[in-house]
Amino acid sequence: MPAVAETIDTVRDVTEGSYKWGFETEVEQDIIPKGLDEDVIRLISAKKNEPEWLLEWRLKAFRAWQGMDEPRWAAVSHPPIDFQGLSYYAAPKQAKAPKSLDEVDPELLRTYEKLGIPLKEQERLAGVAVDAVFDSVSVATTFKDKLAEVGVIFCSFSEAVREHPELVRRYLGSVVPASDNFYAALNSAVFSDGSFVYIPRGVRCPMELSTYFRINARNTGQFERTLIIAEAGSYVSYLEGCTAPMRDENQLHAAVVELVALEEATIKYSTVQNWYPGDAEGRGGIYNFVTKRGACRGAKSKISWTQVETGSAITWKYPSCILQGEGSVGEFYSVAITNNRQQADTGTKMIHLGKDTRSTIVSKGISAGEGQNTYRGLVRIMPKADRARNFTQCDSLLIGDRCGAHTIPYIESRNPTAKVEHEATTSRIAEDQLFYCRQRGLSEEDAVGLIVNGFCREVLAELPMEFAVEAQKLLAISLEGSVG
């Protein structure tokens, strides 16, 4: 497999455990003052020329948020977050909104090039359409015209509010209500931008859609929203990637993703999460508190989540499926790595409402250094979900003896015809495995990369090809220095 050779090349290239996406872009920023109150929300809404209904929606969310407490049940610990100490809007200054890539600040284009997302080149070459989100705003979306030919809408969230208000209004908050949880409510109040996707009835989206999130500004949070609607009989594969500069202070990222799949529609949503994880001593890094949920509304619809979580100081994230349509299918494939002082509490919720609904959960947790990795999952079978089926497999891999792996599965079945299976394993990269590989000529790091890639194989196989290679590289880099 050439992909594994890539992994090895990458490990060789990177000699010191460095986060190579950690640079900062010098652009003039439009940042609003720190703090959060109704005026700030009005300001954000005004900056985006939003309609009144959306401002009202934000304010309602804000009022709900004020009455909520931060969730404390996750197996993560961090100093209290000063929500008044953050700025809730940062955008690169531009005279006017760019109409095409030629009008985008070249400095921003260079940033994405450095990140391996050449927006211009991408437009010409690869079969992937990209929406590039820089701090609070979308700076460019590629391939829009080509997608429009088949009726696919792929644009920034702000543009969707302007151009397709009826769709946004109909679906926004329909899967993750504004007051769903503390971070979702905060996001609903202050979200700045994100991606919007609409696939019309019967259309198979002709290319991969991708959003690349970049946090750049200091002392800001990033709150983006993604909304994907797949009409009956349609198909879309969507991928998000994310990076941030290296900083000593922690930064907050609280996103919301909503997916709606109608009859016989399929949404495949893949994430390669590579936010700055902090340094080896646990200084800095992104707090990634994200709500992702998909609704399989139509019969035989399918939502598949695949995530490779290598970054962030703290990950708190449970991509979920509400299986409402008869015979609908939910899938969750996850690899989560925690190295050094990283903490991850991640998993999924599969809510079976409809008859003959099926869900599959495959979670691979890898802990190294002093990393703490928790799988937390809920499988709930409601009374009407006759013959619902779930299969869950949770595997943990430990590297070293100072890390931890925890598995917390909740299973609630209220239908006697349902079948729920759960398997869990915990293993260690054994000394004999490493020695065996090294005796055959592989370096210790290559050996770890090989064993880890083997461990994650079922999940990596779910990623689109281009991203599987990227993900394998990341796995290797994330585990650098974890052995020996």
Partner 1 sequence: MDAMLTIEGLTATVDDKPVLKGIDLAVPAGEVHAIMGPNGSGKSTLGYVLAGREGYEVTGGRVTFRGQDLLAMEPEDRAAAGLFLAFQYPVELPGVGNANFLRQALNAIRRKRGEAELDAMQFLKLVRAKMKALGMTEEMLKRFVNVGFSGGEKKRNEILQMSVLEPAFCVLDETDSGLDIDALKIVADGVNALRSPERGMLVITHYQRLLTYIVPDRVHVLVGGRIVRSGGPELALELEEKGYGELQEAA
Residues that bind partner 1 (CB under 8 A): 1-2, 4-5, 8, 430-433, 435-444, 446, 450-451, 453-458
User: Whole-number minimum distance, CB 446 to partner 1, in Å?
Assistant: 7
Residue 15 or residue 100: which is nearer to partner 1 going by CB?
15
CB 472 to partner 1: min, Å: 12
Contact present, 222 and 136 (Cβ < 8 Å): yes
Give the orientation angle of helix 182-190 with respect to helix 38-47, to 10 degrees.
50
Determine the Cα–Cα distance for residues 35 and 277; give it in Å rounded to an integer. 25
Evaluated on CA atoms 239, 245, 248, 250, the torsion sign reads negative
Q: Which bin fits 409, alpha (ψ -120 to 50), beta or left (φ > 0)?
A: beta
**How many angstroms separate the CA atoms of 379 and 77, rounded?**
25
Closer residue to partner 1 in complex, CB, 81/450? 450
How many whole angstroms separate alpha carbon 465 and alpha carbon 72? 38
Strands 235-243 and 256-261: unpaired
Which of 14/81 has CB closer to partner 1? 14
Closest approach of partner 1 to the CB of residue 24, in Å: 35
Select 325 or 365, whichever has its Cβ closest to partner 1: 365
Question: Among residues 46 and 430, whose Cβ is nearest to partner 1?
Answer: 430
Residue 208 CB, shortest distance to partner 1, in Å, is 25
Q: Which is nearer to partner 1, 29 or 472 (CB)?
A: 472
How many Cα neighbours within 13 Å face the side chain of 67? 8
The least CB distance from residue 451 to partner 1, in Å, is 6
Angle, CA of 410, 391 and 239, to the nearest 5°: 90
Q: Where do the H-state alpha helices sit in 94-150?
A: 106-114, 119-124, 144-149
Min separation Cβ 354 and partner 1, Å: 34
